[in-house]
Structures are given as C-alpha cells and as structure tokens.
Structure 1
Amino acid sequence: MSEKDIKIGYPKKGSPFDAASSLFLYLGSIMVLLAFYFNTPQEIWWGTLEILSSPANLTTDYFALANIGATFMNAGLMVLLSLFLIKKNKVHVTGGIVAAMFTVAGFSFFGKNLFNSIPIMLGVMLYARLVQVPFNRYLLPALFGTALGPISSEIAFNLELSPVLGISLGILAGVLAGLALPPLSAHFLRFHQGFNLYNIGFTAGIIGMFFLAVLQGFGVEVKPVSVLSSGNNDKMAIFLIGLFGCLLFYGLFMNRWRLTSYRKILGQSGRLVADFIVIAGFPIVLINMSLLGLIATFYVLFIGGELNGPVIGGIFTIAGFGAFGKHIRNVWPVLFGVFLGSFFNVNEFNATATIVTALFGTTLAPIAGVYGIIPGILAGMLHMGLVSNIGFLHAGMNLYNNGFTGGFIAAALVPLFDTFKQVQDSRRESKKTWKKIRH
C-alpha cells in the first residue's frame, strides 16, 4: 500500500459488521428516534423541507432555521447514508473514516443535508470512474467533501432561478465540485505538510473560492449568513454528556477497564496521517474520543456559551478526530491559544463565533504535538485572528472555514518553527562538542 493510498483512505479487508460500524448504526438510529422526542412528525416533515431547500451558507443553524427534531432527523439520515456507502463499498473502518463520519454528523446540524451532499459524493464517484479506480479508495474525500454542499444549495435556492433550472444547476455544480476534490486534496496535503488535520477543508476553501469568483462574474452576490439559536443548553448538554459518557463506558468495557494503551495515543504528534485505530486499537480510540467530546462540551458550558448547531458540530468534529490525530495533550494548547486570542478580538470569548473557532481550530493540534505547548498556543492565537478575515474568499460556501484557515496558518508557521528548532538543535550540539573538547 502506498503513502498516497493511505492518505485517501485505502480500504482494508474487515468484517462489514465490526464494532465501529455498529456504533454508526446506533448513532444514526438514535438521532432519528430523538427527532420524534423533540417534535411531532408534522413539524419534522416541514422542518426537513425547510432544511433541504435552504441556501445552507455559513452559518445556518438548523435549530433556528427549522426545529430540533428536523435537525436530528437530518443528522441521523446523513449518518445512515454515509454508513450505507461504507457497507456498499466494503470499506474497513479506519481512524479517518471515524473522523469523517462524526464530522458529517456534526455539520448536519448546520449546513449539510441530503440534497447538497449527494451531488458532491456523485462527483467523487465520477472521478473514480474516470481514473478507473474503485470508489472505495476515495470515500474519505467523498465524506469530508460534503463541506462544499452550500454550493449546490446556494445555486439551487438563492439565485431566484426557476425551480427546475436552479435545482439542475445546483446539482451540476455539486458534481463538478466533487469531481475536483480527490486530486486537489492529495496535492494540497503537501502545502501544509500534514499539520492541518482538516486537509479537505483547505481544498474545499480553494474550490469554493473559484465557484464564488464565477458567480460574481455573473453579477451574483453571495453573502455569509448568521442564523443562530439559543436556549437549548439543558437538552443538548444531556444529549452530549450522555453520548460521550456511553462511548467512554463502552470503550473501557471493551478494553477490560484499562487505560495502559492510552499512552500510545498521547505519544503521537497527530500529524497526518495518524490513524489511532491502527496505533492503539478501537477501544482506546473510543476512550480518547469520549474524553475530547466531554472536554469540549464542558468547555462550552463553563464559559457560558450556547450549545447550538454550529457548536455541536464543533464538538462532534473534535471528538471524531480523536480517532485521527487529536488527543487531550495536543488539543489543549491550541484551544487555550484561541481562548487567549479572543481577548484581542471584537467577538466575546463566549460568543458562538469564538467558540466555534476554538473547537475547530484544534485542526492545528499537530503543531502542538510536534513543536510543543508554546507553539501550539501561538498557533491558536493566530488562528483566532485570521479565521474571521478569510471567510470572504469563499463567502461561506465552504463549511470548513477553519480548515481553510488552518492550512494557511500551518504553511506559514511550520517553516519558522522548523528553522527555530534547527537553531536550537545546532546550539545544543555545539555545547556538547565544546564540553567534550574541554574534558
């Protein structure tokens, strides 16, 4: 297996009904069932139609746009659709797949839905057909690439076109965006050298930027939006703490109530490609994911933030990447750095925009893992400053704005940190040599 195959999610042979796949089945099913707890079937139906026909630009909180039940239904169906693709293509569940599934689930609370995600997946399938490679090798770009869903939704529902023409052009645009994702994502990985965990987010930002330029060339003005909900902390806290508490219990149970192997994960830098399932096993990964999810949830509650759609999306994503690069040791410096940087920002430290930046900013966790605490904090502070000034490049048509920003941060900081590290190593070697000469 080549390095390229690993980067894009090369499938391995494995049981189609392993523990990870069962987890996704339970997660998707529970979300669908919870939808009926929060709202009536009629409310869910009309709310779902509202979600499917919305432009879905950043930041469209489906709690506020529709209702909680319709949002959970959307998230559950997205998880089950993604699981169907995994099973149909006989893909073994790796750390990358786990991260992608939780990211899809999280962003289905704000921005992703069946209408705008399926064309992206079809585009990736078309690319696989054109290069005559099995689609299962490109499942990761297909899942992560749904970040570009707002391109389809924006064209279909926000350009005042006739329904048939708008939907047709929206689907076509999504397919074209998906077609470009696999080759570009493999190329852009070299741009940030694997220090930005949301590599597809950077790629999607570039693609979204080009689509925006085309639309603006036709005189179309696309503006990011901010539709946010509030007042759901009690309900969502119970859901999140219950979910991650169950993951923690299940992981400990599967690992015979031991944490000894957790050191294998904590010793990793997290730099791509870091598949923690391969390194430490699925039970330990579940424990790591649950701890990250609980830390993120309590962080939001502690600073007085709102558990709305975008914030829940951030919590799900940080937990999902607990299988693919993130752990408590390399995450906290970046999280703390964003928190410090918020005091030099126009947004309050507990505003949704700031919290989302803190959670998704942990895409830079490998910087802390490789270079240490201080560089990690610095990366977080810089990320806080840049993320709010870069979204205009794609006007919210890339849902992974923090991944887009993280690519630039990593590309700028890593050469500087490498140089500083080389100078330090050179000085240490000079001191050792001088000591040997003196003795």
Structure 2
Amino acid sequence: MQESIGVKLKSKEGEEDVANIIEVKEETKYKIMFTFGVFVLLSSLLFNSPSEIYSGLLNILLDPSILVSDYMAIGNIGAALFNSGALIIIAIVIAKINRVDMNGTTLAVVFTVGGFALFGKNLYNVWSIIMGVYLYSSYKKEKFSKVILIALFGTALAPLVSQISFGIGFPIVQAIILGNIFGLIAGFVLPPLAQHFIKFHQGFNIYNMGFTAGMVGTFLMAILRAFNIENEKRLIIAEGYNQVLSIYLAVIFASIIILGFVLNKKSFNGYKGLLKRTGRLVQDFVLLDGFGLTLINMGLLGVITTGYILLVRGQLNGPIIGGIFTVVGFGAFGKHIKNVFPVIVGVFLSSLIMTWDVNTTGPLLAVLFGTTLAPIAGEFGWKAGIIAGFLHMAMVMNIGYLHGGVNLYNNGFSGGLVAAALVPILESLKRRE
C-alpha cells in the first residue's frame, strides 16, 4: 500500500533538503476518496426516506440556485447530501477516466465540488460548463486531462445555468437551451482566463478559479442586465440542525485524521515541516508531504473550522458545511492550521466593529472562504494575515452584486482583488534579511 521515498525539495534559502515521504498508491487514494463519496451519498438515508430525498432532489434540480441557496432548506438534508455524494463520485470518476493523479489539486476539487453541491451545484447545472471546457480542449487539440480540474472548479458558475433556466421567467424550453448556451460559453473561456488571472494576484489567492469565475460572471451578468434581466438578492438557509450535523462532521473529520495517521506510519512525523509552507500557489501537499500527512492536515482544518462555527453560535447548514468542506479540501493544496488562523482572526475582528454580526451567514462564510488568503499570512506573517482577513470582510460583503450571485466562489473573487491590492504594498514594506 505504501512505502517511504526520498524527495529533494528546495528550502527558502535555495538549499536542497531530503524529505521522507510515505508514498501511497494511486489506486489506494482513489479507493479512499470513492469511499468518501459513497459514504456522503448513503448517509443521506440517515436523515430522510428515499421518497423524501427524491422529492427534495427535484426541488434542488429546478431551483435557480444563485447565492445563497441552501439545498438543505430548498430540499432537505438527505437530498442535499445525496446531491453532494453523487457529484463527488462523478468528479472522481471523471478524474479517474482521464488518468488524473489523486494529488492535492484533485483532493481540493473533489471536496470543493462536494461542498458546493450543498448550496449551488447540482446534477443538472454543472454539465454544460464541463462540456464548454471540453470543447475548448478539443479546439486547442489538447488532452481533456490537462484542463479537467479547471472544468470541475469552473462549475462555480453553475448557478448561471440554473438561474437562466428557471429563474428569469422565460418559456421553459427556450430558457433551458439559453441557460446551457451560457454555460457552454462560460466553460469555453475559463481555461485561458484562469491561466492569465493567476498573475493578477501572484498566487496569493488560493481560489484562483473563484476570481476567474467572478470576472466571467460579471461580464455575462452585464450582458443580461443590458436586456433588463436582473437577479434578486437571495438568502435561503436552514437552521436548527447543529447537534446532528456537528456529530456528522465529527465522524467525518475524525475518520480522516485517523486514516491519515495510519497511512503516515501511525505518526504525525513531518507535520511541522508542512506548517512551514507558505501555501502560495502552487504548493501540493500530497506531492510535498505525502498523502497521509495531508489527510491529517485536512481533518484538523475540519475540526478547527467546525469548532469556530459552534463557538460563535453559528448555524451548521448547506453553505456553512460547504465552506468547511472547501477549507478541508484545500488543506491538500495550500492551507494549514498555521496560515489560516490569522485570516480567521482578521475576519472575526472586523465583524466585531463592522455592521454585520459575527454569527450570521455572511461573516461566517467570509471566515471560512476568506482563508483563500492564507498564503499572505504564510509569506508575510500573522499580522499581514489579520489585515488581509479584515479587508476581505469588507470587500466580500459588497462584491456579490457584480456577478448577481451566479459565481459561487464569491470569496475567491474578493480574495483576488484583496491580494492584488495588498501584496504589492506588503512586498514593498518587507525588510530584506
């Protein structure tokens, strides 16, 4: 199943270090992730009956799904988890068919897809965007595997398809056709833009696709507004499920930590080295530190973020669990407990003095998804991380209008702007050693 290998890594000083990474076979990694997807799907039956899941899933598929649309409220908990588990399995199968390694980026995309399948992505609205990316790869005569992760992350714009299909009042057939045409266009332009926009924030915004999708969503929403089509503000959330959902998440994250511990030869060896990484794109923890150690990091992030929500007396629901899952996923690709903490503190402090309450949906989502700016704390220190979190809170609460809620990665859009403005200032003030 596993073996130790030596990998040469460059330190900040440019010297080569040899890290002993416990290698896990790709087949084993895929089996573990597939099991996770099946667990999420089947766990839906713990909350609702098959008939309730079916009727709830229909409500989810026919919903406009723009931000913020909690599938646990629109359907029910079981339907939301079934939708999430199904999309997790689909993402894994697509990656497997295209022979994509189960590395940090793939783990991040699987958990992100599963998380947002609780409040915006569903079994209807993701396909035209994925197909649009596929058409781009065909046009460029490149392998789809080269852009498959962009296709899956690009489903951030899935609400664009649902909103046009079911939310603007057009005749249903024409609306579905138009919605999927917009999805194809969005998917087609995402790959070249994603490669370009990473330069804008210099890799300090981990959710690069969020910024890219935000730009695309803004342009497409501007076209719709030019024809007097506007999206209404939305906030549909479920409440009152903290006890059962906290137990559910505790089981998941405890299992991830234990599994990582076993795969890392029943130890936490190497975790201090992982915490020294800045998280700046591109840092793949699976490749740099091993699959087992990465799972430990992911599980710890899940425990910490869930604990924060409960500590401030927030509500566990679709969007919040989606945010927690996304943080956990990027625990394989840039985030760890050291570089996310200052950003969380920054958002928390801002919510104490700004107009929003700390335990309402917006600030809670800002805390979770604002950790997209974790590389700033990793690179420039905890004070910079707090400043980044503070600024992010103000920005993210005002930027949703631009894309009309069709970009699910709203915090990634905001994070790109904050990083682009803040990083040059921090670099200019950074003392030379």
Q: TM class, shorter-chain normalised?
A: over 0.9
2:97 paired residue number:
88
1:175 counterpart (184, 187, 203): 184
1:351 paired residue number:
360
Q: Among the aligned pairs, what percent are the same residue? A: 46
2:114 counterpart (105, 118, 121): 105
Q: Which of the pair is proportionally richer in strand? A: 2
- State the Cα distance separating 1:59 from its structure 2 match: 0.3
1:391–1:257 distance in 2 versus 1, CA, 3 Å: same
- The CA distance in 2 between the partners of 1:19 and 1:269, in whole Å, is 28
2:3 paired residue number:
none
Structure 2, unpaired ranges of 5+: 1-22
* SS at structure 1 position matched to 2:126: helix
- State the Cα distance separating 1:161 from its structure 2 match: 1.5
1:132 counterpart (130, 141, 144): 141
- The CA distance in 2 between the partners of 1:275 and 1:16, in whole Å, is 17
Deviations 1:127-147 (CA, angstroms, capped at 9, x unpaired): 000000000010111111000
2:268 counterpart (230, 248, 259): 259
Correspondence 1:122-271 to 2 at 5 A = 122-271=131-280
- The CA distance in 2 between the partners of 1:17 and 1:262, in whole Å, is 22
Q: Does 1:419 align with 2:423?
A: no
Q: Does 1:45 align with 2:74?
A: no
- The CA distance in 2 between the partners of 1:277 and 1:204, in whole Å, is 26
Q: Does 1:303 align with 2:303?
A: no
- State the Cα distance separating 1:23 from its structure 2 match: 2.3
- The CA distance in 2 between the partners of 1:19 and 1:266, in whole Å, is 25
- The CA distance in 2 between the partners of 1:357 and 1:91, in whole Å, is 31
Q: Does 1:72 align with 2:87?
A: no
- State the Cα distance separating 1:16 from its structure 2 match: 8.7
1:331 counterpart (312, 318, 340): 340
1:6 paired residue number:
none
Deviations 1:125-183 (CA, angstroms, capped at 9, x unpaired): 11000000000010111111000001100110012112211111111111110001000
Give, as a single letter, the amino acid of the residue that structure 1 aligns with 2:328. Answer: A
1:59 paired residue number:
68
| Rg larger for | 1
2:12 paired residue number:
none
- State the Cα distance separating 1:17 from its structure 2 match: 5.4
Equivalent pair of 1:264/1:279 in contact (CA under 8 Å): no
Equivalent pair of 1:336/1:380 in contact (CA under 8 Å): yes
Give, as a single letter, the amino acid of the residue that structure 2 aligns with 1:164. Answer: V
Give, as a single letter, the amino acid of the residue that structure 1 aligns with 2:260. Answer: G
Structure 1, unpaired ranges of 5+: 1-13, 429-439
* RMSD over aligned Cα atoms: 1.2
Aligned residues: 411
Q: Which of the pair is proportionally richer in helix? A: 1
The TM-score with structure 1 as length reference comes to 0.92
- The CA distance in 2 between the partners of 1:18 and 1:340, in whole Å, is 44
Equivalent pair of 2:218/2:402 in contact (CA under 8 Å): yes
1:291 counterpart (282, 300, 304): 300
* SS at structure 2 position matched to 1:242: helix
- State the Cα distance separating 1:15 from its structure 2 match: 9.6
2:27 paired residue number:
18
Equivalent pair of 2:120/2:408 in contact (CA under 8 Å): yes
Give, as a single letter, the amino acid of the residue that structure 2 aligns with 1:286. Answer: L
Equivalent pair of 1:371/1:417 in contact (CA under 8 Å): yes
- The CA distance in 2 between the partners of 1:205 and 1:410, in whole Å, is 15
The TM-score with structure 2 as length reference comes to 0.93
Equivalent pair of 2:26/2:102 in contact (CA under 8 Å): no
- The CA distance in 1 between the partners of 2:386 and 2:216, in whole Å, is 29
